[in-house]
C-alpha cells in the first residue's frame, strides 16, 4: 500500500508524503548515482582532514578529525536516545536503499552541515571568497540532505535536525576552538613548573573523558570513542615525542600523494582486519575489540603516519 500506518504521528505522515514527492522529481535510473554521491560526499570527507594533516596544515587536520569523530558520536547517541525507525519501515513503497540504525537525526546531513563550513572557515583570517565559501557550504549540505530524503532513509525532519545540530557544532568549532587553544596555552605557560610528561598526561586524561562520554552515549558502537582516544594518543605520545617538527606543507606533490596512499592504507588496516575477522556481535569481547581496532587506526593517523613520513 502507498498509505502510511494510521497510528503514525502526523509529522511523519507528512514526511512520507514529502519523500514520495521528492522521489517523483527524478527517474529511478538515477538511484545508484544518487546513492554513490550521497555516501561519497560524507564518507569521502575523511580525505579532507587527512589532506590537511599530512599535506597542508597538521593542526587544522587534527582538529577537523576531532570534530568529525565527536560530532558523529554525539549524533549516534541522539539516534539511540530518540529511537525513531527509518521511514521505509512505515511505508515500504519508498524504499530505495536500506540503512542501519535509527533515523533521527540524519548523520549524513549533520556531517554536511558540520564539516564543510568547518573546513572552509576554521583558521581562515582572509575574508576573500567569503560568499563563495558560504554558497559551497549551503550547496553541499542541501544536496546531501536532498539525497537522504530521496533515498527514503530519512524523514525531512531528520534532515532538518541534522542540519541544525551540524551547523551548531560547526559554529562552536570555528569560534570556540581558538579560544580554548589560547586558554590551554596560557595554562601550560602558567604551570611552567609542571613537567612536560605531566602536561601530556593531563591532556590525554581530558581526551579519555570525552572518549568515555561518547562510548557511553553510543553503547555498543564503541568505534567513535576508540577513534577519539586513538587520535589523542597518536598526537600526544607519538607526534609530540618523535616528529613534532613535521611540516605537512613540505615535500613535492608526488610525496604528498604518496603520504595519502600509504597513510590511508596503514590507517585502514586495523579496521579492515577487524571486519574480516568474522567476530560476531555475540562475542563477549566484541565491543572491546571494536574499540581497540579504531583506537589503533586513530593513533596511526596523527601519530604513526607522520613519524613514518618524517
108 is catalytic: yes
195's grid cell:
613537567
Q: Which of 9, 63, 108, 283 is catalytic?
A: 108
Query: Are residues 108 and 42 in contact, defined by beta-carbon separation less than 8 angstroms?
Result: yes
Contact partners, residue 137, CB within 8 Å, separation at least 6: 113, 116, 117, 120
d(CA 198, CA 184) in angstroms, rounded, equals 14
SS (H, E, C) 163-181: HHHHHHHHHHHHHHHHHHH
9 is catalytic: no
Q: What b-and-e string marks burial along 89-128, b requiring 16 or more CB atoms within 10 Å of the CB? A: ebbeebebeebeebbbbbbbbbbbbbbbbbbbbbeeeeee
Q: What are phi and psi of 157, to 5 degrees?
A: -65, -30
Query: Are residues 92 and 5 in contact, defined by beta-carbon separation less than 8 angstroms?
Result: no
Residue 6, CA distances (Å) to 3, 77, 90, 91 in order: 8, 29, 10, 11
Q: Which of 63, 154, 185, 283 is catalytic?
A: 154
Query: Are residues 34 and 26 in contact, defined by beta-carbon separation less than 8 angstroms?
Result: yes
Q: Is 18 exposed, middle or buried (0-12, 13-18, 19+ CB in 10 A)?
A: middle
Give the CA dihedral 286, 287, 289, 292, nearest 10 degrees.
170
Nearest in space to 208 (alpha carbons), one of 236, 189, 179: 236
Report the catalytic residues: 108, 154
Amino acid at each position: 500500500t502507498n498509505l502510511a500506518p494510521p497510528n503514525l504521528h502526523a509529522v511523519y505522515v507528512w514526511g512520507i508524503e514529502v519523500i514520495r514527492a521528492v522521489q517523483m522529481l527524478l527517474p529511478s535510473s538515477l538511484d545508484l548515482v544518487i546513492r554513490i554521491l550521497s555516501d561519497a560526499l560524507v564518507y569521502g570527507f575523511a580525505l579532507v582532514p587527512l589532506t590537511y594533516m599530512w599535506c597542508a596544515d597538521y593542526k587544522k587536520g587534527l582538529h577537523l578529525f576531532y570534530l568529525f569523530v565527536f560530532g558523529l558520536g554525539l549524533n549516534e547517541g541522539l539516534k539511540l536516545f530518540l529511537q525513531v525507525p527509518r521511514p521505509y519501515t512505515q511505508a515500504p513503497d519508498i524504499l530505495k536503499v536500506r540503512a542501519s540504525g535509527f533515523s533521527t537525526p540524519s548523520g549524513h546531513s549533520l556531517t554536511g552541515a558540520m564539516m564543510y563550513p568547518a573546513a572552509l572557515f576554521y583558521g581562515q583570517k582572509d575574508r576573500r571568497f567569503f560568499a563563495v565559501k558560504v554558497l559551497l557550504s549551503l550547496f553541499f549540505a542541501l544536496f546531501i540532505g536532498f539525497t537522504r530524503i530521496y533515498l527514503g532513509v530519512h524523514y525531512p525532519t531528520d534532515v532538518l535536525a541534522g542540519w541544525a545540530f551540524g551547523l551548531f557544532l560547526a559554529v562552536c568549532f570555528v569560534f570556540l576552538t581558538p579560544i580554548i587553544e589560547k586558554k590551554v596555552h596560557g595554562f601550560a605557560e602558567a604551570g611552567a613548573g609542571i613537567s612536560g610528561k605531566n602536561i601530556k598526561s593531563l591532556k590525554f586524561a581530558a581526551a579519555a573523558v570525552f572518549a568515555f562520554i561518547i562510548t557511553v552515549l553510543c553503547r555498543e558502537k564503541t568505534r567513535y570513542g576508540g577513534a577519539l582516544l586513538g587520535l589523542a594518543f597518536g598526537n600526544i605520545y607519538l607526534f609530540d615525542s618523535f616528529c613534532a617538527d613535521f611540516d605537512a606543507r613540505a615535500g613535492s606533490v608526488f610525496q604528498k600523494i604518496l603520504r595519502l596512499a600509504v597513510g590511508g592504507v596503514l590507517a585502514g588496516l586495523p579496521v579492515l582486519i577487524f571486519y574480516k575477522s568474522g567476530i560476531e556481535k555475540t562475542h563477549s569481547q566484541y565491543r572491546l575489540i571494536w574499540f581497540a581496532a579504531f583506537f589503533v587506526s586513530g593513533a596511526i593517523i596523527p601519530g604513526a603516519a607522520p613519524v613514518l613520513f618524517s
